[in-house]
Structure formats: C-alpha cells, structure tokens
Amino acid sequence: MLEGIDEALIEQVKRDNAEFSHLLEEHEQYEQQLVAYNDLRFMTSAQEVERKRLQKLKLHGKDRMLEILQHYQVVPRSETSTL
C-alpha cells in the first residue's frame, strides 16, 4: 500500500499520530470492500458507483497518509509529537 516507505517509519507514525492510524484502518477496510466488489462477476450501476466512491475515498486517504509521512521525514522526530 505504501510502497517504498520504511516500515519502521510507518510503525512510528502509526503509534504517534492518531489521524494516520485511523486513515490506515480506513484504507484497509476500503481495500477489503473493493476486493469484494472486484470479485463480482457483474455489478449493478449502484454497485459500480459505490466501487468508484470507495476508490476515491481510498486514494484520498492514501494521499493524506503520504502527506503525514512526508512531514515526519522532514521534521525531526522530537517535534512530531506536537502534530
């Protein structure tokens, strides 16, 4: 999901930042829901709309997680506790 990013950094941010932790949980839930939709042989138009909505939510969450991670990479660790 967050390819190319140090796992230790992800774990650190997950512990230190409640928003990141929440976004990560949501991201995993969206992924599970999308897998279920993608497994369907045929989708109704409502299911297609919902699948697109989930994709957008997942992408938005990932973008926000990357912003948070970038901040942690730039700011010294002692200053990140104020986030």
> For 17-50, how does the pLDDT look when each residue is reduced to its tens digit (9 = 90+)?
999 999 999 999 999 999 999 999 999 999 999 9
User: In the prediction, which pLDDT does 81 show?
Assistant: 54
pLDDT (mean) for 48-76? 92
pLDDT (mean) for 4-9? 85
Check if the beta carbon of residue 2 is closer than 8 Å to that of residue 51. no
Global pTM reads 0.80
Q: How far apart are CA 43 and CA 47, in angstroms?
A: 6
Higher confidence at residue 55 or residue 81? Answer: 55
Using pLDDT thresholds of 50, 70 and 90, give the confidence band for residue 3.
confident
